[in-house]
A and B are shown apart, each in its own frame.
Chain A
Amino acid sequence: MKNKLKKGTRGSATNYITRGKALKKLQLTLTDFRRLCVLKGIYPRDPKKKAEGPLKTYYLAKDIQFLAREPLLDIFRQIRVQKRKIIRAKSRSEPGTLKQLRESMPKYTLDHIVRERYPTFHDALRDLDDPLCMIFLFSSLPALGHISADRVKNCVHLAREFQLYVQQSHSLRKVFASVKGMYYEAEVMGVTVIWLEPHKFAQKLPRDVDYKVMGTFLEFYECLMRFVNFKLFLTLGLSYPPPAAVFSKLRSGTAESGLVADLKQDAGGEMAKKRRSKRDRKSLSVSHESVSAAVQAVMAAAARKEGSQEQVDEEEELAGAQDGGDELDNEDDSKTLLFSGLSFFLGRETPMSVLDFVIRSFGGSVVCETDCRSVGSVRGKITHWVVDRPKLRGEKRVDLEYVQPQWIFDSVNAGILLPVSLYSPGAHLPPHLSPFTKEEEDGYRPAFSEFIERIKAGDTSVLAESAFMLGQAPHVKQGRLELPARREDGHDHEDDAMPAGEGAKDGAGSSRSSAEEEQEEDEKVLDARAAADAKSEEKELAKMMMPRKHQKLYETIMRGRKRRSAKMQTVVAKRRAIDDA
């Protein structure tokens, strides 16, 4: 007889290891273990059979093996020892030793972990949401307690650099002003990245947050973002890190051509050589096989820029790049360069950094009220004045469009320039919709979304109606935007009216004919209803023949749908109530 397998020698008993055992194996404290897990991206698992009870935390045994070979482990141990020595020196009050010990604290870098966790650049881009959110958050935090000023400064730099890349590559796709902050979606080398930037306020630091843990995450994210930014700048052919002057110039809106020059000053550097060697489009596409066609388009644009740089003056080049929007009849490009040729004057009450980033990303140019002495100095160039005041200061100028900041966000999301009349200063704004919600999934579509669709389709009558609406601005209910419904009603009336009109022409027999027609219509309705009934009954019958397994599955799916649709139903009901009121 075959020997019975000994218990605990195979399967999940050996594949998984509890946290306690892992600590013992790695000879680490829990804090260090957690730090290591954060840095290396190790997380607990949920084995089907929990050999040591359901209350323990299990890790994959191979993960722990993997951690055991980590060079950081040794450094962590050294740091622990060093800290112990520091305590001893302190208690012995030996300032010299203390200083020496503090200076010689073991140091480590995380480069190898970044490479390990993200073997390809594409992998890193796919996982960029959390790092970006974290870095944008920390760039707005005060340097208090566990958050050092260096950290915050570095985060500010990294955030600005990433924004600069997005701006320069015109890869911003969606903007959403939420209560939590600004959500952005960018398509970086074909990968969709979404991040949240908190509103510009002095952040409150809650007490029940472990900033050490966040610090560990940030440590890794900073390292990752540094390399990602470097690589992104490289693809654009720009030097990294960008000189600080670039940002100040960007802000002040002066000498845009100079910016590119500044960024490209690394001409003598090794990178530039590489870049030149990769100049032609083919080799570029080969070097980034995995990256989608969108990337190639960006790269091509970069290459085109470079080509022009050699031939023409830089300023001309920039002008060409801006005018490029007209040349590229590609729809996608027209969307990414939505604001090309427009220049915006941002009032000092507006969220300038946000608007600046968005407008530039879509090819517009920006002048901030805080950077120039008066509007007069930039008179003639401005096409839009972004205002966020209940009333205009001074006289309204005829040569400008006055808009609220939401116009910019909504236009970007719609992919067209929406009518500014809806967004004039002090006006009752139309709702700001999330560009991330897909109507077909949700099952409900807000009226304004349909409105935008109609504008997109080139329905000018909508505009007239909206103008009419604007006449009674703050009192207008948004329900009025529900135009399609009204229109359908109109159709019905027309349908009703038509036969009546014909009947009048016919004369005497008209009443009878119309009655007959009514009857016919009724019959048609009944027929349709009967057909629908028959169909539903057929379905009902077919359901009877489902195997039990499928029946349960079907019921589960339908229950989920019902739950979701019930949620939407409440929304629809609310809408109806608002419309009725």
Chain B
Amino acid sequence: MRGGMDDRPGAGGSRAAMPGRQGKKLARAVRSSVRGGALGSAPPAQQSAAPHADHDESASSSEDELYANKVGNIPMRWYETYDHIGYNAEGRKVMRAPRSDAQRLADLVDPESWRKVYDEKNDTYVMLTDAELNMIARLRENKVLGVNEEEVVAWSGPVMQTPAYPLPTEPKRRFQPSKHEAKEVVRLVRAIRNGWKSQKRDENDLVHGGAAKMYDLWVKEQTRALEEISKAERTRQLMHASAPKLAPPTHQESYNPPEEYLPTPEEAREWMDAHPHDRETNFLPTKYGAFRHVPLYENGVKERFERCLDLYLATRTVTQKLRIDPESLIPRIQKPSELRPFPTGLSGTCQLRIPGKLRAISLHCSGRWLLAASTQGAIAAIEIPSGRVANVWHFDKLQRDAERVDDGEEDQANASSPRELEPPSAFLDAGVLGKDAKQLVPELPVHSVRWCPRADALVFAAGYRKVLYVVDASRALGASESVASTSALLMEHSKQVTSMERQKNECVWAEVYEADASRENGTRSDVEKNSAQKSKHPRSKASPVAGKAGDAKAEQSEASEEEVVGNGVKDEPKVSRQVCALVIGHSHDVKSVDWHKRGDYVVCATRDTGGGSILMHRISRRQSQRPCPRAISSKAQIVLFHPSRPYLFVASQQHVRVFHLVEQKVVKKLSPGVKWISSLDVHPSGDHLLVGAYDARVCWMDLDLGDKPYRVLKSHKKAVRAVGFHPSLPLFADVSDDLTAHVFHGSVFDDLSKNALIVPVKILKGVHKERQSIGIVGLAWHPRFPWLITAGVDNAVHIMTDLV
């Protein structure tokens, strides 16, 4: 405005040449330049420059002249609402200059605009000179104003003048060592020496104030020879257990874990509710969408503290971690396919409809006839392999009929509670027998059945309750070719029997004769009827002889075909009639039956706790005797003949005794190490014994190898109910309550140095059904083929053959 700005460079130039400006003059200088602008002409600029340069004292007087506006030092906003900005010396209004848009635009475009300052008092723009800019720059850098660095001279003190008067002389004490200080020094020295006072802390060491010397601690690494290390140190080294490292973090711990690692709401709640010690992880997996969302982990300090505690408070032990491949533990066995033949699968089934549950089976040595005995005294004869049921004998019914006739009270009691086999479920599930095994294990089968081992005869012995039946089955089964030989077997060779021997007889014998020709068409009913009548005889030995005789007579009068032998009462021999069954009465229930190879002897174990439990019957002489002393026989569960030698295997609950029948002594006492023996079978060679037990074990006992089992097979999960060797092939099998039958290849060698080779070859499963936690109860091998017959408690008989 008013062309003031045009003159500025000139004015600035003159001022810039002026040296030696004082710092406190800056404001004035700026203001002077402003005033110069306000005056709008060159002369005032020179005017203003002169007083600054020459005499500072005139500044205050000239200051007033510089301002056209005389409002004084007041805030200019007081004039904001007016169109004037103050008053001049004459008291007239100083008007605000009107500014056009063009002017404003020009100001914007002006390249010099950055060095213009607005003077609101005079309503003008003031351009700053180079010198002024320089001054401002120096102000900002806190430098002296208006002085070049070169010009600044270091301050020097006043030169000391020679004093007018001499200084007073120094006292002597100033030249003598201070006694006080000497004392203090001595005190400090003493304090340091005695450790009362120490040197100052070394600032570098942050730990202890000791000298924190940095050096290579492991310059020569200490790997000392063994001899250098003391014994104590070696012990420590050997016993050292370094602390286990913390497990590295898993996916779960990620700030953004895969979704499958996140807990479900239930799991999260479970985690929250659990005690911190019981939690599997010490954090709850959480997914954060971005890294910035991850919050502070609050347990960090605590976890590190716990690790510290573990490091110095926890007991450490060195444990060997197993790094065994479990597959390497499984032994290599011969391939089953190399050991064929053996039964591989089910090929036939026979579902029996007989009362009770199957208890035992026996296969005739011809391989044609299978006997299956049930708990309620029914014995079915099944033809193999057709599976036809040829005949069923109902001994239970016979006995009950007989008892009804007899009205014997004790027998009634027996009959009213037919012995069912209770399932030893608790013990079987556990697989192991506990202390009270006796309570858990039920009574052993009261029922057993066994074919006579002679091929030409069809005679079987079946024990049911207190009676042992020796039955001629040839007619019933329609096997006419064996009728003669069977009858011959059952014929009494009574001539040789003396009355003395009869006196000594241990059991009551009865014979059942063939019915009349008219009745012969129904053999079965015939036998039934006959049996019904004879059944009252086999009672306790204690029954009076007279009573027996009377009974016998009564029966005879009723045209009975029965004859009582053994107690001396005997009618004339009826040679013309065929003996179709023998009835041998015992004092106790019959548990197990076995035939001698030649078919003349039957041995049976009864439930006689008094000691006379083992009884041997000679068929041809109708004679019974106790072969063993009481001590052996008292606990007998199972008895078996040795196939070739005069031995008797007597199994008690936990042991098997080998009793020499001729020498009348125990040759060997075998301890299979099982809790309760369930079954026994002897190898055809007679040198090996198979022991099955209720604690799911099967023991192969080699009689040449001491009294411990050669091999214990614990392959079943539940009780083993029956075991059996194949009569001709190197096979054996066991059946169990876990509904499986395991077939093994077990070959024995003549070479004494070679032990038996046992290889499991097949697990047959899933064909029987469980009843009251009892599964398969009996097994039988076909005499020639690798056929296994199993009988389950579900009254099913299955034949397994070597299917290809």
Contact = CB atoms under 8 A, between A and B. Distances in A.
Contacts of B217: 111, 114-115, 227, 230-231
A208 B302 CA distance: 8
A431 interface: yes
A208 B224 CA distance: 44
B269 interface: no
Interface stretch (B22-30, B80-88, B191-199, B597-605): B191-199
B309 interface: yes
B118 interface: no
A437 B258 contact: no
Contacts of B255: 177-179, 432
A58 B336 CA distance: 56
Contact of A478 (B250, B258, B283, B300): B258
A103 B198 contact: yes
Given A103-B198, A137-B304, A544-B760, A447 B258 contact: yes
B208 interface: yes
B289 A554 contact: no
Given A119-B223, A198-B300, A545-B333, A209 B713 contact: no
A429 B239 contact: no
B250 A226 contact: no
B261 to A, nearest CB: 6
B317 A45 contact: yes
Best-surrounded residue of B196, B217, B242 (most CB of chain A within 10 A): B217
A181 interface: yes
A548 interface: yes
Best-surrounded residue of A204, A271, A575 (most CB of chain B within 10 A): A204
A84 interface: no
Given A240-B214, A434-B253, A557 B326 contact: yes
A553 B248 contact: no
A10 to B, nearest CB: 14
B245 interface: yes
B291 A177 contact: yes
B105 interface: no
A389 to B, nearest CB: 8
Given A205-B301, A553-B322, A571-B260, A177 B330 contact: no
Contact of A178 (B197, B232, B253): B253
B754 interface: no
Given A226-B214, A578-B260, A176 B301 contact: no
Interface in B201-215: 206-210, 212, 214-215
Given A204-B301, A574-B260, A129 B336 contact: no
A370 interface: no
B257 interface: yes
A67 B397 CA distance: 90
A478 B259 contact: yes
B222 A546 contact: no
Interface string B281-297: 00101101111101111
Contact of A546 (B253, B329, B763): B329
Contact of B239 (A45, A217, A561): A45
Contacts of A151: 206
B305 interface: yes
B232 A176 contact: no
Nearest to A540: B763
B217 to A, nearest CB: 4
B438 to A, nearest CB: 26
Interface in B160-191: 191
A219 B221 contact: no
A558 interface: yes
B790 to A, nearest CB: 18
Interface in A509-544: 537-544
B609 interface: no
Contacts of A179: 253-255, 283, 285-286, 288, 294, 297
Contacts of A540: 763
Contact of A437 (B251, B314, B336, B714): B251
A300 interface: no
A178 B249 contact: yes
Contacts of A181: 297, 300
Interface string A77-115: 000000000000000000000001101100111110011
B312 interface: yes
Contacts of B653: none
A120 B312 contact: no
Contacts of A234: 216
Interface string A308-332: 0000000000000000000000000
A120 B249 contact: no
Contact of B222 (A45, A119, A231): A119
Interface in B245-287: 245-246, 248-251, 253-262, 264, 283, 285-286
Contacts of B299: 206
A340 to B, nearest CB: 24
A575 B195 CA distance: 71
Contacts of A154: 206-207
Contact of A541 (B208, B218, B333): B333
Interface in A22-61: 34, 37-38, 42-46, 57-58, 60
Which bracket fits the contact residues of A? 35 or more
Contact of B261 (A104, A177, A210, A571): A571
A537 B763 CA distance: 8
B298 interface: yes
A233 to B, nearest CB: 10
A226 B206 CA distance: 11
A194 interface: yes
A127 interface: yes
Nearest to B283: A179
A38 B197 contact: no
B583 interface: no
A194 B248 CA distance: 8
A134 interface: yes
B308 interface: yes
Nearest to B263: A574
A554 B296 contact: no
A433 B250 CA distance: 8
Given A201-B295, A578-B260, A557 B322 contact: yes
B209 to A, nearest CB: 5
B317 A129 contact: no
A162 B248 CA distance: 20
B483 interface: no
A388 B291 contact: yes
Nearest to A101: B196
B665 interface: no
Interface string B320-360: 00101010011111011000000000000000000000000
Given A544-B715, A557-B322, A62 B256 contact: no
Interface in B678-734: 712-715
A578 B286 CA distance: 16
B222 A120 contact: yes
B311 interface: yes
Contacts of B300: 137, 180-181, 198, 203
Contact of A100 (B196, B242, B243, B335): B196
A158 to B, nearest CB: 10
Contacts of A121: 218, 221
A546 B297 contact: no
A20 to B, nearest CB: 15
Interface string A139-178: 0010000000011011000000000000000000000111
20 contacts: A60-B236, A62-B236, A63-B236, A111-B217, A178-B255, A204-B296, A206-B301, A209-B301, A217-B308, A227-B218, A231-B218, A351-B291, A431-B259, A434-B253, A437-B248, A446-B258, A537-B763, A545-B760, A553-B322, A553-B324
Given A176-B249, A241-B214, 15 more contacts: A34-B312, A46-B316, A60-B236, A104-B198, A115-B217, A178-B249, A179-B285, A194-B245, A199-B296, A204-B298, A214-B305, A227-B217, A431-B256, A434-B249, A548-B714
Question: Can you list the 3 inter-chain pairs with the closest CB atoms, starting with the nearest?
Answer: A436-B248, A201-B296, A544-B715
